[in-house]
Amino acid sequence: MKTSSQYATIITLLITLLAAAAVLLGILADFRYNFLEYAVPAFPAMVGTFLIVQYYFSRFVKQKINPIFKTIRSHALDEQEQSRKAGREDIVKQLDREVQVWTTNKTEEIRKLRQLERYRKDFLGNVSHELKTPIFNIQGYILTLLDGGIKDDHVNRLYLKRAEKSINRLINILEDLDAIGRLESGEFKLQMERFNLVKAVEEVFEDHEMQARKRRIRLGFDSSYNKPVFVMGDRKRIMEAIGNLINNSIKYGKPGGRTTVGFVDTGENILVDITDNGIGIEEENLPRIFERFFRVDKSRSRESGGTGLGLSIVKHVIQAHKQTITVRSKPGKGTSFIFSMDKA
C-alpha cells in the first residue's frame, strides 16, 4: 500500500529524472569535451534538484490533498489516528472510501431536511386551519350584530356568547402552542418535587367530574390505593398531562363507559396506566397521535372544543421528565396510555 508521501516521492523522482534526461540529451547533442567534466558537477546538482522538488511537492500534497479528508469526514479522527490510517492505507482507496461516506451522510441529511420541510408545511397548514375557524366564527357573529342583530335582545346575547366561546378557543390554541414551543426550546424549567401521585390524580378527577357526568362516564382507580405513591416530578405539569389524557378518554368514550387510572411499581419507576373502554384508535393512526393537530375524529374533536395539541403537550411533558409514554388501542375496545415516573 502506498501513502501520500510515497506517491510524492515517486512523482518527484520521475520529474527529476525527466529533467536530468533532457539536460543530458542536450549535452550529448553538443558533446565536445570530456564527459566527466560535465557528469561530476551534474550529479550533486541533480540530487539537490530532487530534494528541492520533493520538499515543495510533499508540502503541496499535505496542504492540498490532506485537507480534503478533514472536510469530507463525517466524524473527526484525532491527528494520531489519522496519521496511523494514512500511513498504512493507499491514499486513493482511502479518499474513495471517505467520499462514499461523505456522500451517504449528505444524502441522509438531504432526506431529513426534506422531511422537516414537509413537516413544516403540514404544521403551518394545520395552524392556519385551526386559527381560521374561530376567527371566521367571530367575524360572522360580529357582522350579524352590526347588520341589526344587536337590536334583538335574544340574538345579540346568543351571538356574543358564541363569539366568546370562539375567542376562548383561540386563546387555548395560542396557549398550547406557546407551551409546546417553550417545552421544545428548553426554556421551560421543570419544578421538580416529591409528591403523592394518588392525590394528584384525585384532584384531576375532581376537575373533570362535571364533563364526565355529562357523558355518563365513570372516573376512578383500577383498584384501591390506601397508601400514597410518591414520585419525583413537576406536579403541575404531570397533572396537566394526566388531565389531557383523561379529557381525551371522556371525549372519545362511550356513554356509560369508564376511565380508570392504575399504578405499577417496577422497582425504580412507577408506571401510570390510563385506560378507557371508548371507541379506540385505528392501528394506522397510532404512530401519529402525538403529532400536533392530528385528530382521529376531526369533526368530533372540534365540536368538543379540542385544540388538537393535547397529546403533543403530554408527550413533551413526559419527555421533559426524561421518561417515555406508549399507547395501546383497539377500535371499539378502548385505549391505554402508559407513561413512567421516577419513584421518590
CATH number at residue 162: 1.10.287.130
Same domain membership, residue 235 and residue 339: yes
Same domain membership, residue 10 and residue 67: yes
Residue 108, all three cell numbers:
441522509
Same domain membership, residue 259 and residue 276: yes
Decide if 263 is inside a domain. yes
Q: What is the CA radius of gyration of the chain?
A: 37
Decide if 113 is inside a domain. no
Same domain membership, residue 126 and residue 82: no
Q: Residues for the chain: how many in total?
A: 344
What's the rounded Cα separation, in Å, for the pair 129 and 137?
A: 13
Same domain membership, residue 287 and residue 208: yes
Query: Cα 316–319–324 angle (5° rounding)?
Result: 120
Residues of the chain with pLDDT under 50: 1-2, 72, 74-77, 79, 299-302
pLDDT at 76 (0 to 100): 46
Same domain membership, residue 163 and residue 77: no
**Under 8 Å between Cβ of 293 and 301:** no
Same domain membership, residue 210 and residue 171: no
Number of domains the chain contains? 3
Same domain membership, residue 313 and residue 294: yes
Same domain membership, residue 136 and residue 61: no
Closest to 191 in 3D by CA, of 132, 239, 147, 152? 239
What lies within 8 Å, CB to CB, of 66 at 6+ separation is 4, 86
pLDDT at 23 (0 to 100): 60
pLDDT at 298 (0 to 100): 52
What's the rounded Cα separation, in Å, for the pair 9 and 51?
A: 9
Residue 171, all three cell numbers:
386563546
CA distances to 63, 97, 338 from 67, rounded to whole Å, are 7, 15, 51
**Under 8 Å between Cβ of 339 and 272:** yes
Same domain membership, residue 164 and residue 196: no
pLDDT at 196 (0 to 100): 95
SS3 218: strand
Decide if 72 is inside a domain. yes
Look up the pTM and report it.
0.56
Residue 222, all three cell numbers:
383500577
Decide if 112 is inside a domain. no
Residue 305 has φ and ψ, to the nearest 5°, of 85, 15
167-172 contacts at long range (C-beta below 8 A, 24 or more positions apart): 167/134, 167/138, 169/133, 169/134, 169/305, 169/307, 170/131, 170/134, 170/135, 170/138, 172/305, 172/307
Last residue in a domain, options 69, 102, 135: 102
245-270 b/e (C-beta count within 10 Å ≥ 16 → b): bbbbbbbbbbeebbbbbbbeeeeebb
Same domain membership, residue 181 and residue 39: no
pLDDT at 309 (0 to 100): 77
Residue 244: give the domain boundaries: 192-343
pLDDT at 230 (0 to 100): 95
pLDDT at 2 (0 to 100): 47
**Under 8 Å between Cβ of 314 and 239:** no
Same domain membership, residue 322 and residue 278: yes
